[in-house]
Structure 1
Amino acid sequence: MFSAPPTRRLAPGPVPPQTAHRMVRDELMLDGNARLNLATFVTTWMEPEATALMAECADKNMIDKDEYPRTAELERRCVAILADLWNAPDPDASIGCSTTGSSEACMLAGMALKRRWAQRNADRYPARARPNLVMGVNVQVCWEKFCAYWEVEARTVPMEGDRFHIDPAAATELCDGNTIGVVGILGSTFDGSYEPIADLCAALDDLRERTGLDIPVHVDGASGAMIAPFLDPDLVWDFRLERVVSINTSGHKYGLVYPGVGWVLWRSPDHLPDDLVFRVNYLGGEMPTFALNFSRPGAQVAAQYHTFVRLGHEGFRAVQQATRDVARSLAGDIEALGDFRMLTRGEDLPVLAFTTAPHVTAYDVFDVSRALREHGWLVPAYTFPPHREDLSVLRVVCRNGFSDDLASMLVEDLGRSLPRLRRGVGAATADDADERRRATGFHH
């Protein structure tokens, strides 16, 4: 009689590969359906050809550029493509690299900002000056981690009223001689809105004229940097602004690649201090490396280049326009139910954020999130940061593969849940508030 191997220690001996595969696959069936996960910005669908290509490249070590020179070349091509897309002064000379995602890319960009500031203030740092970084309170958690890990003071601009992201004037008031840079977000994870990058740069230009402080800007384009070039080409947010020295994006978000790839680019080699770039030769041939990790698969880089080749500019525009159209239509359908107030409608990122209407008292957004989970949908409910902790919202992220049909099903399931919620059936009590928030946690 077959006895299942233990799950928390190694079994005495092996099992057949088919058995191991079936055991793990059966357990993973209990996970949520990724296509119905409307909390995540991460790509949950790719064409079969891209999936096959990733499987073929899974055993290639991205860091081993001497052994896998063509994979390294695909990375360089992707950097050049992004530099051209983001209007770098000289795309072919731009410097950048792939990462495991935007979080690592942000860490690298922050490290470069701090090192350039430290070099300019060598007489004061570290003994007499502590660096700071200015950003909106709506930044992704990786920026909080950066400040904690690299001993940088985080100076955040709070939300006020119906402004849910950074205010340029308030940001400049937080800047001083110890400011290593200001972070602008092209697509806030809280509501999907673009921050006013051009206005932020203009305010910092004025600060330089008044005080002599010359503060660089990094654009966290985790999502929007792969939306705006195709859908909002007249929006000036990128290297067309001289104050923007670096940009990051997630290839695995609206770059349309499965999880595991991000990108960071600098305006020129001058903006990436050379002492942060390490050169190794023990893999055969000397190669530069600038990353927080070392070995990682080349599959995602190959998939990113495949996606660039497959879609081209017009293909990307069509895909991103379709997701924005779905988001706008979905926002109208949800609003028509009568119980919700829309904060954003997919006008920037294909993301909509909404809360309950003032007349709704029998339930809140956390109850809605739990009700939708019963239908298989993962829709996060969360509170906003200071000074809008009073505002709790639901957020829906529309991605490639989330079709009009799926959006219609979501609205139908939401509509089916409302009669019960309006009667207070299934709504949690005040004593359950902490448990509800844990159960419907915020996802970046």
Structure 2
Amino acid sequence: MLFSLSRGDAVSSLRAADCARRRGMSDQHTPPKADIHAYRKRFPTFERLPSEGVPRDKVLAQLREMKELEEARWKAGYASGAVYHGADEHVEFLNQAYALHSQSNPLHVDLWPSAIKFESEIVSMVAHMLGAGSPGSEPGSPGEIVGTVTSGGTESILLAMKTYRDYARDKKGITSPEMVVPVTAHAAFDKAAQYFGIKIHHVPIGPDWRADVKAMEAAINENTIVMVGSAPPFPHGIVDPIAELSEIARERGIGFHTDACLGGFVLPWAEKLGYPVPPFDFRLPGVTSISVDTHKFGYAAKGTSVVLYRGKELRRYQYFTATDWPGGLYCSPTFAGSRPGGLSAACWAALVAFGERGYLEATRRILETAEKIKRGIAEIPELYVLGDPLFVIAFAAREIDIYKVLDAMTDRGWSLNGLQRPASLHICVTLRHTQPGVAERFLEDLRASVEFVKQHPDVSGGQAPIYGMANTLPERSFLAEAMKEYMDGWYKLR
């Protein structure tokens, strides 16, 4: 979950429009801004079970109203990432697939063998998309590419890091494990380090916005269990030099994990379309695991990802078994016990329905739109794009405060990602942005926002002062406490 800095109680479209007018900007196209507690006064709040059940038609009416209120922004293409397909017909298709298997649970394979079909085929389809069958990874060989279906990218990463920890403890006797990651690697690696007692080394990136190969190698020691590279990393969208990094890992006898949660369903098709995609998958002999999200550019329903391994032996260190429990023999491949089989069904349905041609066409549209957006940003003198990304476009500012540009874009309805170190923003281009006029609207609003910040350099409020402080504070504990306080607010009813 990204920490989204709120500007308080401003929730209604009237307030948003008033804010835009106060700042001297047009409210054209501006949808209402979000508020995590927007429904406190709109719908009943249930602190306890109702004494009598609410009629189902009334329950469904509330759910429909919330859906309609929330979908306007992302359907119109105002969100960076978040919803990667979103067309009504596709969403309905996924909903039907889920509904048909909503009661299934992969924990009970005797009752729902369909769950085994779905998940084993999902793993195989994704594995072959990412280099399974290349020399050294043929089916039946010790390096055969295997994996499991998980609940999302974070779980895929957590499972992989837990697997390397347990493998290194058993095979190498390493009891003080360490991992080496670029500073741009996803925060899930920090979560894994915290959860599993792994010391994490954050290595600075180079001037090309990619992992620094020499610095990464220098961080390896006798306790290193895994190196990490991203394809691409979330902040700047530029694929790390995974060929070089994974070869170093192979030579040093340690694991190498490619985090392709964001790009795993884009880069293979971009390569087929002729775009310059550096190698990142199992065609590289040093890559020993990959995380890839099916619920992003795989266009599955939210809640599925895949973690892949080179070899069954490594995957077995992910599993959990209990042989002495009075409840019987118990085993599970991932963190969860019971899991929603409907999500696996919907994921399988998405992959099979799209096929290679569908993913190629979707990727073509996304990359063409991303090129248009990159060119448009480059034509704004006050802004510049960080590096040469494919579809996650980060940009910073010259002489003006980029976070004030973020505020101005927020006033116009956009949900963009504020980045730090360096101060910048990014937009992750999805199929929602390929709709007619969306890229043009983004660039038009961006130009207007830059011009507004130039004309009003002293404007206050919004996210700019908070992001600006966060970008310079050496002591991060204050920010961590603020974020915990923010999460506490998710569960407050009053």
Match of 1:268 among 307, 311, 315: 311
For 1:13, the equivalent position in structure 2 comes to 52
| Pair 1:430–1:44, CA change in 2 (3 A) | closer
Query: Is the partner of 1:181 in helix, strand or coil?
Result: strand
| Pair 1:345–1:428, CA change in 2 (3 A) | farther
Measured in 2, the distance between the counterparts of 1:355 and 1:167 equals: 21
**Could you tell me how far 1:20 is from its partner in structure 2?**
2.8
Contact 1:43 1:254 in 2 (8 A): yes
For 1:312, the equivalent position in structure 2 comes to 355
Measured in 2, the distance between the counterparts of 1:14 and 1:430 equals: 42
Match of 1:74 among 111, 118, 122: 118
In the alignment, is residue 380 of structure 1 matched against residue 426 of structure 2? no
Matches within 5 A, 1:294-313: 294-313=337-356
Query: Following superposition, which runs of at least 4 residues in structure 1 exceed 6 angstroms of deviation?
Result: 279-282, 284-287, 429-432, 435-438
Measured in 2, the distance between the counterparts of 1:414 and 1:171 equals: 36
**Could you tell me how far 1:436 is from its partner in structure 2?**
7.1
**Could you tell me how far 1:109 is from its partner in structure 2?**
0.8
**Could you tell me how far 1:311 is from its partner in structure 2?**
2.1
Measured in 2, the distance between the counterparts of 1:44 and 1:313 equals: 16
Output the aligned Cα RMSD: 3.1
For 1:406, the equivalent position in structure 2 comes to 438
Match of 2:392 among 320, 332, 351: 351
For 1:231, the equivalent position in structure 2 comes to 270
| Pair 1:178–1:436, CA change in 2 (3 A) | closer
In the alignment, is residue 217 of structure 1 matched against residue 256 of structure 2? yes
Matches within 5 A, 1:1-400: 5-27=44-66, 31=70, 33-35=73-75, 36-46=77-87, 47=90, 48-88=92-132, 89-91=137-139, 94-122=145-173, 125-126=174-175, 130-160=176-206, 162-205=207-250, 208=251, 213-232=252-271, 235-273=278-316, 276-278=319-321, 289-347=332-390, 350-356=391-397, 358=398, 360-361=399-400, 364-384=401-421, 391-400=422-431
Greater alpha carbon shift after TM alignment, 8-17 vs 421-430: 421-430
Query: Is the partner of 1:59 in helix, strand or coil?
Result: coil
Measured in 1, the distance between the counterparts of 2:321 and 2:74 equals: 38
CA deviation map 1:23-68 (0-9, x unaligned)? 4544565547233353335535151323322233233223322211
Measured in 1, the distance between the counterparts of 2:299 and 2:154 equals: 17
**Could you tell me how far 1:425 is from its partner in structure 2?**
6.4
| Pair 1:13–1:396, CA change in 2 (3 A) | same
Measured in 2, the distance between the counterparts of 1:437 and 1:379 equals: 19
Measured in 1, the distance between the counterparts of 2:330 and 2:255 equals: 29
| Pair 1:28–1:275, CA change in 2 (3 A) | closer
Contact 1:182 1:217 in 2 (8 A): yes
**Could you tell me how far 1:193 is from its partner in structure 2?**
0.8
User: TM-score w.r.t. structure 1 length?
Assistant: 0.84
Measured in 2, the distance between the counterparts of 1:281 and 1:76 equals: 28
| Pair 1:414–1:275, CA change in 2 (3 A) | closer
**Could you tell me how far 1:415 is from its partner in structure 2?**
2.9
**Could you tell me how far 1:279 is from its partner in structure 2?**
7.0
Contact 1:367 1:426 in 2 (8 A): no
| Pair 1:253–1:226, CA change in 2 (3 A) | same
Equivalenced residue count is 413
Unpaired runs of at least 5, structure 2: 1-41, 471-481, 484-494
Contact 1:187 1:223 in 2 (8 A): yes
For 2:448, the equivalent position in structure 1 comes to 416
Measured in 2, the distance between the counterparts of 1:103 and 1:431 equals: 26
| Pair 1:319–1:5, CA change in 2 (3 A) | closer
CA deviation map 1:364-395 (0-9, x unaligned)? 221122212222210122212xxxxxx21110
Contact 1:134 1:182 in 2 (8 A): yes
Query: Is the partner of 1:164 in helix, strand or coil?
Result: coil
Measured in 2, the distance between the counterparts of 1:333 and 1:275 equals: 45
Measured in 2, the distance between the counterparts of 1:345 and 1:275 equals: 36
Query: Is the partner of 2:97 in helix, strand or coil?
Result: helix
Greater alpha carbon shift after TM alignment, 191-200 vs 336-345: 336-345
Contact 2:292 2:305 in 1 (8 A): yes
| Pair 1:422–1:39, CA change in 2 (3 A) | same
CA deviation map 1:322-349 (0-9, x unaligned)? 11111111111222233211114542xx
Contact 2:145 2:310 in 1 (8 A): yes
| Pair 1:17–1:316, CA change in 2 (3 A) | same
